[in-house]
Amino acid sequence: MLKSLMISSVCLTFGTAFAAETAGNVIEINENVAPEVIENGLFPKSSSASDCAEAAKAGFTCGQIVPRKVFSLPAGISFASGSARLSEPAKKLLASFGPILKRNEASGNTVVFVGHTDITGSKPLNRRLSQQRAESVRQYFIHNFDISPAFMGAVGIGSEQLKDSSNPASAVNRRVEISTKQSR
């Protein structure tokens, strides 16, 4: 329980600062996203070991010199309004992530699921619903791919980071984004 709370705390801090860091690095998940794009986006590796050694001398990690990507479940198939139930089409898209996450459990990274809502509903309701959405994706990987709960965190940020701010009630704002952060 304490470890889960620590991951949630880290993820909450990470999730709120996340939008500014990842602008332009968001990939909408579809059936054409190749496994190597997922792996290189979530678990970037330098083209050479010497690059990683140089980064370490400067106090950085390889993941900091090779940009990480964020993967976003498409709004059209993710969640119905007011629901945290993961749709079957969304599960099909997430299935390609399972083996990659499993293979990288010992990578020294933490996978972070960040849940979002549209603006309908109160702030407390949206915060809770977005947390439930992120947690439903996390649970999908725990139950279907036997991935360690300690390797993944879930955070909900409500409607604070709208994908379409010109249409705040739009379904495109209801999503979960998947990313990684170097563990320390």
CATH of residue 124's domain is: 3.30.1330.60
When divided into structural domains, the chain yields a total of 1
pLDDT number for residue 16: 39
pLDDT number for residue 24: 57
pLDDT number for residue 61: 61
Instruction: State the amino acid at position 75 in one-letter form.
Output: A
Most distant CA pair in the chain, distance: 51
Separation of alpha carbons 47 and 143, rounded Å:
34
pLDDT number for residue 164: 86
pLDDT number for residue 122: 94
What is the domain range of residue 72? 2-182
Token pair for 48:
């050479």
Tell me which H or E stretch contains 14: helix 2-22
Instruction: State the amino acid at position 45 in one-letter form.
Output: K
pLDDT number for residue 88: 92
Q: Considering the entire predicted model, what is its pTM? A: 0.78
Residue bearing tokens 């952060």: 181
Task: List, run by run, the mean pLDDT of 10-residue segments along the chain (184 residues).
Answer: 41 41 72 92 73 64 69 83 89 96 94 94 95 97 97 96 89 91 77
Strands (E) in the chain, as ranges, are: 26-28, 70-72, 109-116, 152-156, 175-182
